[in-house]
Amino acid sequence: MKHPQKSVNVLIRAFVLFLGVSVVMGCQTRPQDGVPEERAQAAEELLNKANRLAEQEEYEAAIADYDDVARRFSQDETREVRELVTKALFNKSSILKKQGEYEAEIAVYDDIVCRFGQDTAFEVRVRVARALFGKGYALEEQGDYEAAIAVFDNIARRFEQDKTLEARKVAARARDDKSRLLEKQAKK
């Protein structure tokens, strides 16, 4: 082999993506024991560790820790912990986007919606709206304008009357992007 390190990196990336997809496909995790404050602290520490790894461009390790946050804490009933889980998943999607891994990025957005789509906490609802928006944008980046338009339309309908101003702003932006894509298609 000419580049054994490159092959190892490819294998590590494939394994990490496999772990992430296995978490995504189930949309299930195990409940946590312990005191809510301790769980929140543990989730925050793991999220911070993953963020540091991402800042150092150690993406595979960061993704593994983001997945660990999701696996260990997404069934938590504490609002603060659920917010940390959505942050972890969103940060994972950002790495995947940087790497041009659009399918995996979209899978993470779908995971956020699957896990937290019915959540009523402010920050969680906003992240769900942003996850859907990210999915629409990723679909557009792939050239799948029809699917992106459908996602943007879904966001607009789902969040235009939301109780959170931030989610309504995402809905307004989605309406604008839907119109932009429709005009782009009409010009073809």
Q: pLDDT tens digits for 98-120? A: 999 999 999 999 999 999 999 98
Please indicate, yes or no, if residue 111 is contained in any of the structural domains.
Answer: no
DSSP 117: T
pLDDT confidence of residue 164: 86
- Per-residue pLDDT, averaged over 9-37, amounts to 49
Q: Return phi, psi of residue 166, to 5°.
A: -60, -40
Closest CA to 173 of 163, 187, 159: 159
pLDDT at 182 over 90: yes
Tell me the C-alpha distance between 77 and 154, whole Å. Answer: 27
Q: Per residue in 50-62, pLDDT tens?
A: 999 999 999 999 9
Q: Per residue in 24-45, pLDDT tens?
A: 444 443 444 567 788 999 999 9
- Between residues 87 and 34, the one the model is more confident about: 87
Q: How many CB atoms lie within 10 A of CB 188?
A: 5
Domain boundary among 70, 101, 132: 101
pLDDT confidence of residue 36: 78
Query: Token pair for residue 24?
Result: 């995504």
Tell me the C-alpha distance between 137 and 131, whole Å. Answer: 10
pLDDT confidence of residue 137: 95
pLDDT confidence of residue 6: 46
How many domains does the chain contain in total?
Answer: 2
Tell me the C-alpha distance between 56 and 62, whole Å. Answer: 9
Please indicate, yes or no, if residue 184 is contained in any of the structural domains.
Answer: yes
Banded model confidence at residue 186, pLDDT cuts 50, 70, 90: confident
Tell me the C-alpha distance between 94 and 17, whole Å. Answer: 14
Q: Per residue in 116-167, pLDDT tens?
A: 999 988 899 999 999 999 999 999 999 999 999 999 999 999 999 988 899 8
91 and 23 share one domain: yes
Q: Which domain holds residue 40?
A: 1-101
Tell me the C-alpha distance between 7 and 18, whole Å. Answer: 16
Q: Name the packing angle between helices 102-116 and 4-26 (round to 10°).
A: 30
Please indicate, yes or no, if residue 129 is contained in any of the structural domains.
Answer: yes
37 and 89 share one domain: yes
Tell me the C-alpha distance between 118 and 128, whole Å. Answer: 9
68 and 97 share one domain: yes
92 and 135 share one domain: no
Tell me the C-alpha distance between 40 and 17, whole Å. Answer: 26
